[in-house]
Amino acid sequence: MGEFGHVYKEQYAVALFNSVRFEIEGGGGPQSQLLHRKNPLEDHSIFSGGLFQYLEGNKKWRNRFVFVADSYNVSFYENKVAHERGLHPRGTINCAGYKALTSMEEYLDLVSTSLPGVKAKVGSGPFVKGATQFPLILWHPYARHHYFCVLTEKEQTKWHAVLQDCVRHSNNGLSEECRVQTPAFTDAVRLYRQAQGHYGTWDMMCGGPPQILANLVMETLYPELRNLIGPRLKGKMQQRQRNWMLISEAVYKQVLSQTQAQYEALVQACEVETPRLDAALRTDMDQIITSKEHVSGKIRALVLPRAEQLLRRSVQPYVSSILEALMEPTSTGFSEVRDVFFRELVEVSKNTLNGGGKDKLGEHMEKISMLAFHPVKMQSCYEKVEQLSLEGLQQRFDVSSPSVFVQRAQILMREQMDNAVYTFEQLLHQSLEEKDQRGEDLCKTIQCCQDRVLKKYDYDSSTVRKKFFREALLQIIIPYMLKQLAPSCHPDFPPFQEMIFEDFSQFILVENMFEEVVLQSVTKDIMMAVKEAAVQKRHNLYRDSMILTNSDPNLHLLGESPSVDWATQFGGGDEEPDKTPEGCGRSKWQRRQVVSMIKLDGMGPLPYESCLEVPGEDFIPEEGEDFIPEEGEDFIPEEGEDFIPEEGEMMEEEEECQHT
């Protein structure tokens, strides 16, 4: 952490320089056509209900009330009443870095890699056997594993989609709005790993900075501990695996607590220096830029010929194939987003025409408002991009897995869906306020707003995808080129550092300028490849010269409006908000839920239903499903589903469940 702290402080000054320079000189890409909602999940939760959870302390399955908040943290309670009373949860899981699994075979494959030479047999587990045929497992390479199960496949499918969304959201833990801290942190992590010889993408860049730093430490520490401790573990295969997992969890927890404290201290130290650095930058910006351009010219003369030769020989032949591998599944996913949005609006038009009036419209719009954050409804979109494969290219360009690009594309798809929904809401609400409409007139208004939004979506989708393709290509190619060029170029760098004035040396680093030169050498080829795809109109990409101007000159004014409360304004909602501090207008357990509860057609809530209803409104209904026992009730499997016995298991249930 000491070495990383030094790198971070260097990159913080560079990032501050870039931020101030951008502020002074300006810049930016094409303007978005769709509106962006600032706080889409305000007063909403994602999902809640009952799940069987395996408790290691007493080797039993107990039904817990599980609540997924707008933070996407998964909290589990003794029962629903404990949640409603505001009691502390038995445990809370931050899903960053986890994988959500639905089969014991998948889980055993991952567990088998934890200890070399120890292979689990299919049908056995490290220390637990599934109580039903439908497990849900949260696996992490270092942290505690969590075991849940349900009784039906439909329940498993829904919960799996929810847990995958929790992982997806939690992995995306670095805020793009932090114009200095985020680039400083990501560059520091990348440079630190490169100094250790690790180039290429890293699939454990997950969560917030403390979690990423803990993963960074464990990347080196984990194999060392495994080689040191692994051979000394005694007992049967399952016991050795279990003991190693407990050791790994304890080490990771300790590492995470230290990285949390040290990162906070590091950020605080940089923030103390920010006023001084900012003042120096604004005073000497012209001289700093001139000095940087002078040194960059010298580095470019050294590096560019070598970079261009490497580019022609080892990169250019693969650019088109990499781009095609990215474009097909990503564009199919964005197209599916458009189709899902279109189908939902067609359904609104049909139901409004048949039911008549604004009351029904408000009811249907309340369901659509959270469409982007409904993991089950969005699952068909996410599955399209999960087909992304870089097979044949991963080893050459040192890409650990395509998951980095898959999850980034899925986050962008969700953002575009919410932008489209929010824009449609604002346009429709504006039209409804202007005049009273019913029947066919209302359907025509919906159709008109729909067409306007789809046109904007197509443009923004093209812009977002082109940016994603360019960034993905750079993420794949640049580390490969740096790895190839560094051995021959680094010995020539010391004289360049001496050319920089001492007062400017904290803002101008030779290593950063070297990477900028390599970036410039390949950018032209990447831009041309993406531009060529757009010119050929492949995958519905627009040319850069295609600009929508003045299509809705006053639309941006609607972007300042709050989200429309359709249930209250048009749907006859008469619910009085609970003005509690934690609820911000609704208490925590009364918040509207994005994913609907499970109800059987023609019946009220069952005493043993799997997903128990929380106060609020049902959103985007799905099919009815079966049930599981009440929360808090022990579940002991039938004969033949007994648990694998443990030796020396002394943990108490209370201690086992506390995981935050």
- Residues facing 243 on adjacent strands: none
- Around Cβ 569, how many Cβ atoms within 10 Å? 16
Return the pLDDT at 557: 64
| Closest C-alpha to 448, from 474, 465, 470, 430 | 430
d(CA 536, CA 602): 53
Return the pLDDT at 117: 62
Grouping H, G, I as helix, E, B as strand and the rest as coil, residue 205 is: coil
Which phi and psi angles does 527 have, rounded to 5°? -60, -40
The answer to whether the CB of 422 falls within 8 A of the CB of 365 is no
Grouping H, G, I as helix, E, B as strand and the rest as coil, residue 34 is: coil
- Residues facing 609 on adjacent strands: 627
* Structure token pair of residue 13: 């000054």
Q: Residue by residue, what is the 3-state secondary structure of 309-332? A: HHHHHHHHHHHHHHHHHHHHHHHH
Return the pLDDT at 113: 82
Q: What is the pLDDT of residues 498-543, one digit of tens each?
A: 999 999 999 999 999 999 999 999 999 999 999 998 888 778 888 7
Delimit the CATH 2.30.29.30 region(s) of the chain: 47-172
Return the pLDDT at 550: 52
Return the pLDDT at 553: 58
Return the pLDDT at 356: 60
> Which residues of the chain, if any, have pLDDT below 70?
27-29, 116-127, 355-359, 435-439, 544-560, 571-591, 596-660
d(CA 592, CA 619): 8
- Around Cβ 51, how many Cβ atoms within 10 Å? 24
Return the pLDDT at 121: 54
Q: What is the pLDDT of residues 328-378, one digit of tens each?
A: 999 999 999 999 999 999 988 887 777 666 667 777 888 899 999 999 999
Q: Residue by residue, what is the 3-state secondary structure of 49-64? A: EEEEEEECCCCEEEEE
Give the chain's length. 660
| Closest C-alpha to 74, from 149, 159, 2, 11 | 159
Q: Residue by residue, what is the 3-state secondary structure of 473-486? A: HHHHHHHHHHHHHH
Return the pLDDT at 578: 42
Return the pLDDT at 42: 82
Return the pLDDT at 440: 74
Return the pLDDT at 95: 96
Helix axis angle for 375-385 and 316-355, nearest 10°, is 150
| Closest C-alpha to 118, from 260, 245, 282, 268 | 245
The answer to whether the CB of 28 falls within 8 A of the CB of 48 is no
d(CA 200, CA 400): 7
The answer to whether the CB of 287 falls within 8 A of the CB of 503 is no
Residue entry with tokens 């979690």:
211
Residue entry with tokens 């986890």:
98
Which phi and psi angles does 574 have, rounded to 5°? -125, 20
d(CA 262, CA 644): 41
| Closest C-alpha to 418, from 467, 468, 378 | 378
How is domain 47-172 classified at the CATH fold level? PH-domain like (2.30.29)
- Residues facing 63 on adjacent strands: 52
* Structure token pair of residue 213: 């730093």
